[in-house]
Amino acid sequence: MAVLLNTILMIVVALTITGVINRTRALLSGRKGIPFLQHIRDVKVLWRKGSVYSTTTTTLFKIAPAIYLGVSIVAMLFIPVANLYPLISFEGDVICFAYTLALARLAIILAAMDTGSSFEGMGAAREALYGALIEPALMMGFATLAMFCGYTSFADIFEFEQAFDLHHTIVMLLIAYLFIQVAFIEAGRVPVDDPRTHLELTMIHEVMCLDYSGIDLAMIKIAGWLKTACFAMIAANAIATTCCFYWWFATPVAILLTALAIGIVESTQARNKLVRNITFVVTISAMATLIFFIGYLLHLNIDI
């Protein structure tokens, strides 16, 4: 029963975050904005439509959305919601989670290159670059969790609430901040990318999906929601272990923490120039390394 509730809550988080982002942006800009569930209605319409394929594409292009969605679903099943237990759990699943998402990125990159379009190839190259640059931050974040908690499985790392400890609280809050930053890049949001842009030379993730339509595009959008939910829940779990380690606390924290952060940033900050994106992503990796070093010193009870 706990496993089923965990999966349902992850789906709820995935479906809700985009709605909260849209409402936050509308509120901060003084607009009425679109309905809260408009993104779900859009996907529902796409799901009923057929797909159109270019004559230059191969089977790879056709199966990539299904792979992208399937891999994202598997990655979601690794993540616990506070005191609940995930469907998939084993020793070392943090590494499996990271490279499961890497497989999703590989599928969509290969599909973009399969179109034979230099425009989509440009987007694929940018996606590959940012993915390679953010991977060290992701791994350092997992290494910090493993070092501080003594486990390499999400279910074991976030198994129970820790007794109040200042060192543990500091590290977990820093980890939560790190994974929110990672979510900005993995979700293709401002300040790195903007899912609303249609300026040719500024597109990154969206340009790889331009040739998709109908049910294929719907699968890609749903997979993006699931990926964002994964990182949001990891950040929420890190916070929950320090104060209130229950699913009814972690779930709204995951939604509000990530959605409000993305909505506020997109409402108050312009997107970076492309030449600054590399600096931004590398800075996140450097910050992850610093967090690991701080966690190591605190783990040894060394005053800093």
Mean pLDDT (whole number) for 158-186: 86
Q: What is the pLDDT of residues 66-111, one digit of tens each?
A: 999 999 999 999 999 998 999 999 999 999 999 999 999 999 999 9
The predicted pLDDT at position 302 comes to 57
- The pTM score is 0.95
- What mean pLDDT is predicted for residues 250-265? 94
Average the pLDDT over 193-222 and give the result: 86
Q: Give mean pLDDT, residues 285-297.
A: 92
Handedness of CA 47, 52, 58, 61 (dihedral sign): negative
Comparing 163 with 232, the larger pLDDT belongs to 232
Q: Is 31 helix (H, G, I), strand (E, B) or coil?
A: coil
Question: How large is the average pLDDT for residues 234-253?
Answer: 92
Q: How confident is the model at residue 203 (pLDDT cuts 50, 70, 90)?
A: confident
Top-confidence residue, 272 or 139: 139
Return the sign of the alpha-carbon dihedral for residues 25, 29, 35, 38: negative
The CA-atom distances, in angstroms, between 30 and each of 195, 257, 260 are 21, 21, 16
For the stretch 126-141, pLDDT in tens is 999 999 999 999 999 9
Q: Which residues contact 113 (CB under 8 A, 6 or more apart)?
A: 120, 121, 124
pLDDT tier at 178 (50, 70, 90 boundaries)? very high
* More confident of the two residues 269 and 10: 10
**Over the chain, what is the mean pLDDT?**
91
Residue that is written with structure tokens 């969206």 in the block = 206
Distance CA 172, CA 177 (A): 9
What span, in angstroms and rounded, lies between the C-alpha atoms of 218 and 235?
A: 26
pLDDT at 23 over 90: yes
Q: For residue 199, is pLDDT > 80?
A: no
With 70 as the cut, is the pLDDT of residue 161 above it? no
The predicted pLDDT at position 150 comes to 84
DSSP for 115-178, written as a single string: TT-HHHHHHHHHHHHHHHHHHHHHHHHHHHHHHHHS-SSHHHHTSSPPPP-HHHHHHHHHHHHH
Nearest to 241 by CA among 147, 145, 153, 152: 145
Q: Is the pLDDT of residue 275 over 90?
A: no
Q: For the residues 134-153, what does the mean pLDDT come to?
A: 92
pLDDT (average), residues 229-238? 96
Q: What are phi and psi of 291, to 5 degrees?
A: -65, -40
pLDDT tens digits for range 213-230: 999 999 999 999 999 999
